[in-house]
Amino acid sequence: MSNPVVHIANLNLHYAATAVLCDLNWRVYSGEHWIIAGKSGSGKSSLAKAMVKLEKSSGEASFHFDPENSMPPLAYYVANWYQFANLEGDRNFYYQQRYNKQQQNDTLTVYADLLHFGQKHQLDFHDAEPILLALGFENCRQTQLIELSSGEHKKLQLVQALWLSPQLLILDEPYTGLDKRSRARLNTMLDEMANAGSTLILITNDRDIPSSINRFAQIENGQLNAVADFNDIKQDEERQRKPFPYFLQKAPVVDSDTMISLHNVSVRYGEKEVLKNISWKVKVGEKWLLQGPNGSGKSTLLSLLNGDHPQAYANDIALFGKKRGSGESIWDIKQKIGIISPELHWYFDKNATVWHAIASGFYDSIGWFLQVKYEEKKQIEQLLDFFDLLEDKDKLLHTLPLGKQRLALLARTIIKNPQLLILDEPCQGLDRSQTAHFNAVLDELSSYGKTLIYVGHYESQLPSCLDNRLVLEKGEVVILEYA
């Protein structure tokens, strides 16, 4: 038998005193294309990072590339998050910075970033053009990196990977933030790469995968175990339902019967019009699904609602019964809103413990908080117990498995029992069991008079409480459905 493309022997990886990978052995041969899936926190991403020396480990991890293959003899890893820097190489960004026009020019444009990538790997930019077109990313060339949504950041990562077309491609959560059309086109291009001689390794619990995938595995007790089929991969155990904390069983005190009122709202960056004449009303207790392809304007619309976007003052927008610019501060608005978004998750303070992260919801900060009151401490403890996070409360949020991070951020979102909940793709990266649990919590929470705006691409992954729908495309409303 020929040499394996991937040869891993006795690989060990520890985080502090916790063993993640224990004498793990794995071989991947030419023609094999793998999915690694399974339980949150089992070590899937750690394995991928250890393979490409991004995590310190012991043991052997080597690659054997085909000298007759015209593809670059490289193992290329695409991380879950896109780690970009400003022009000085600094990555210390803050959440609202992407809407601050005075600081947006601090990062490269998509085009400049791709040119830099192409020069580094000696690639012809003309070969990237059809990939940009296929992923619907061609109109983002002059967009600053800091302005991109999570789905657009993922597209930039994928354009680079597909353009490079290495002999071994490792994709960690490749579908994060992508709309349905982009996922289908990505799978087509990955199949083309596989047929051309590339070996694929995808880390995902998503079931909509390339047809070329022919091997499946999960990590259990630090070992990689192959299984016959995706359905044989174990998911996180179904959580036992607990009674909701009493303070969340009360309908929030509201200021107006209308939460949101937008009339002919438009947002423009120079010649680029991101939103065009948006009119929309959200009344107390309504549950809305907000949809649209990547780049349709969803993130910009939400930034107008949560007080982060400065162009809100130039538009006819009323929040909680008050017109923007009539004297209320951004903190007055944020006090009435609980929000989860991929961007908030990405920018969250890396020094925040789970307890601090939840407590920061009282003050609408990204991890930082003031001295909390006795009643607030009780609410934090109740939510820690409700979400089974008590044993994790003193751990750094970013060290937890993704599923637990999302639950902690949901706890942060609801800790003050806000008038309006805005949940922007809260189930990205979660498996079916985690998503079902998350959405069941939302369904029960919404029954207590909550008003909800939920962003999600896939109907099969949505909470059942949603009964109104707004769909954007190219910055315009194309569907507006009321219950």
CA distances from 62 to 6, 27, 56 (A): 6, 10, 14
Query: In this predicted structure, what is the pLDDT of residue 155?
Result: 95
Pairing state of beta strands 258-269 and 272-283? antiparallel
Give the number of other Cβ atoms within 10 Å of residue 234's Cβ.
15
Which of these CATH numbers, 3.40.50.720, 3.20.20.140, 3.40.50.300, 2.60.40.10, describes 6-232? 3.40.50.300
Q: Which pTM value belongs to this model?
A: 0.85
DSSP 3-state percent helix, strand, coil across the chain (nearest 5): 35, 25, 40
How far from the centroid of its chain's Cα atoms is residue 458's Cα?
Answer: 14
Work out whether the CA dihedral 331, 345, 475, 113 comes out positive or negative. Answer: positive
User: pLDDT 10s digit of each residue in the chain, 483 long?
Assistant: 578 999 999 999 998 778 999 999 999 999 999 999 988 888 999 999 999 999 999 999 999 999 999 999 999 999 987 766 545 444 444 444 455 554 455 678 899 999 999 999 999 999 999 999 999 999 889 888 888 888 888 999 999 999 999 999 999 999 988 888 999 999 999 999 999 999 999 999 888 999 999 999 999 999 999 999 998 998 777 767 788 899 999 999 898 999 999 999 999 877 788 999 999 999 999 999 999 988 899 988 998 888 778 887 888 999 998 888 777 778 888 889 999 888 788 778 888 999 999 999 998 877 665 678 899 999 999 999 999 999 999 999 988 888 888 889 989 999 999 999 999 988 876 777 778 888 888 999 889 999 999 998 777 679 999 999 999 999 999 999 987
Indicate the helix (H) or strand (E) that contains 172.
strand 168-172
Cα 73 to Cα 345: distance, rounded to the nearest angstrom: 35
Closest CA to 78 of 52, 40, 96: 52
The amino acid that residue 427 corresponds to is C
pLDDT digits (tens, 9 = 90+) for 84-138: 654 544 444 444 445 555 445 567 889 999 999 999 999 999 999 999 999 999 9
Three-state secondary-structure class, residue 154: helix
Tokens representing residue 21 in the block: 């990978």
CB contact set of 102 (below 8 Å; sequence gap of 6+): none
CA distances from 8 to 73, 137, 154 (A): 18, 36, 28
The pair phi, psi for residue 34, each rounded to 5°, is -110, 145
Query: In this predicted structure, what is the pLDDT of residue 51?
Result: 96
Query: 246-481: which CATH topology?
Result: Rossmann fold (3.40.50)
Report DSSP letters for 343-412, one per residue.
Answer: HHHHHS-TT-BHHHHHHGGGTT-SS---PPPHHHHHHHHHHHHHTT-GGGTTSBGGGS-HHHHHHHHHHH
CB 410 within 8 A of CB 421: no
pLDDT digits (tens, 9 = 90+) for 217-268: 999 999 999 999 998 998 777 767 788 899 999 999 898 999 999 999 999 8
Q: Do domains 6-232 and 246-481 have the same CATH topology?
A: yes
Cα 44 to Cα 401: distance, rounded to the nearest angstrom: 10
Report DSSP letters for 83-114, one per residue.
Answer: ----TTS-----GGGGG-HHHHTTS-BHHHHH
Residue 53: Cβ-neighbour burial (10 angstroms; 0-12, 13-18, 19+): exposed
How far from the centroid of its chain's Cα atoms is residue 350's Cα?
Answer: 16
Residue ranges of domains in the chain: 6-232, 246-481
Which residue is listed with tokens 């929470």?
Answer: 445
How far from the centroid of its chain's Cα atoms is residue 252's Cα?
Answer: 28
Q: Count H helices and E strands in the chain, helices first.
A: 13, 19
CB 20 within 8 A of CB 13: yes
Work out whether the CA dihedral 318, 322, 326, 332 comes out positive or negative. Answer: negative
